[in-house]
Amino acid sequence: MRHISFILEDEFQVMGLAALTAFELVNFDLGHEAYRLSVMSERGGTICSSLGIRIETQPLGDFPDTLIVVGELIPRPPKPDLRDYIARAGRESRRVAGVCTGAFAVAEAGLLDGRVATTHWAHAHLLQKRFPLIKVDADRIFTRDGNIWTSAGMSAAIDLTLALIEEDHGTALSRAVARNLVVYHRRPGGQSQFSALLELEPRSDRVRRALLYAKEHLRNPLTVEELAEAASLSPRQFSRVFAEETGQSPAKAVERLRLEAAKAMLEDGRHALDVIARDTGFADRDRMRRAFLRFYGQPPQSLRRNLRAVQEEDESGDAVVE
C-alpha cells in the first residue's frame, strides 16, 4: 500500500484536492486500499481554503511515498519548517509533486533547480523570474523530471494524478479511473495549457458560433463567406466584428485552429503528414510546413521527432515534459 499525502496551507485552492478522488477511485476499482490518503499542514488542525471551506489536517509526520503540494490562488513562500519538510521529501519520498502554484513551494525547497517544471500559465513568468535555475515550460499540462512532478493550473492536477496512477498500476487502470471521473484519459503529451478558442476569447455568441463551426469543419475552405453564414452576418459585418472581438483576421484565426488540430494529430503519432494536412484543411504538406515554421519555429517533422524523444525519456524514467 502506497501512502499519498497532500500538503495544504491557508488559502489553498480547492481544485487541487480533486486529485484525491482519482486515488480514491483506484481503491474502489481494485477492491482494496492500494493508496492510503492523508492531508497534512505545517501544524495540523483546521486549514481554510480561498473559498472559506475548511478542512481538517494532520501535522507533518513520516514521509509518504508521494507528497503532493497543493497551490494557492496567489503563491506565497512556505514557512521554514514546511519548506524544510518538502526539501527532505525530495530525498525521503519516492515522488514529490507540486500542483498548480504548488510548484512555488517545491521550488522554495530547492527541488526544482536545474529541472523542467510548469505551473499555471498566469504565474509561469513569476516562477521563472523568482527561480532562474528552473527550466520553466509555461505551455505544458504537467512535467516530470526525475522524481519531481509539477502540473499546470486547476484541472491539470487530474492529468498529473492519472499519470502517477499509470506509473503505479498501468494504463488500463488509469484509463478506468479517467472514465469514472468523466475526463479525457491523460491529455496528449505536450498539449498546450492554452487553446485557440480560449486565446481568441470572442465576446459575442455569433463570433463564438463561427469559431466552433470552423473547429468542426477544418477540412472545408472556411472562407469569410462560409464563416459569416455560420455567424448569421454579412461577410463585411463578420470581418469587422471578428477583428474587433479577437484582434485578428478570420484567416489568421482559422490557421491557428488548423495548427492546433495538426499538432494534436502529430502527438497522437498514428497519422502520416499527408493525412494530417488533408484532415486539418492545410491541403498539402508544404502549406502545413510553412504554417508550422511561422508559429512553432520548426517543421512538423522536427516536432514529431522531439515528441518521440520525450516518449523515450518517459520510458527510461528521465525528464519528461507532458
Residue 253 has which C-alpha cell? 484565426
**Catalytic-role residue among 40, 100, 109, 164:** 100
Amino acid present at 306:
N
- DSSP code string of 18-51: HHHHHHHHHHHHHTS-SEEEEEEESS-EEEEBTT
Q: Tell me, yes or no, if 48 is annotated catalytic.
A: no
Report CA torsion sign: 10, 183, 140, 151. Answer: positive
Tell me the three state secondary structure of residue 107: helix
Cβ count near 186 (within 10 Å):
22
* CA separation for the pair 307, 311 (Å, rounded): 6
* CA separation for the pair 236, 232 (Å, rounded): 12
* CA separation for the pair 188, 6 (Å, rounded): 25
Name which of 292, 20, 21 is nearest 180 in CA terms: 21
Q: Which residues are catalytic?
A: 100
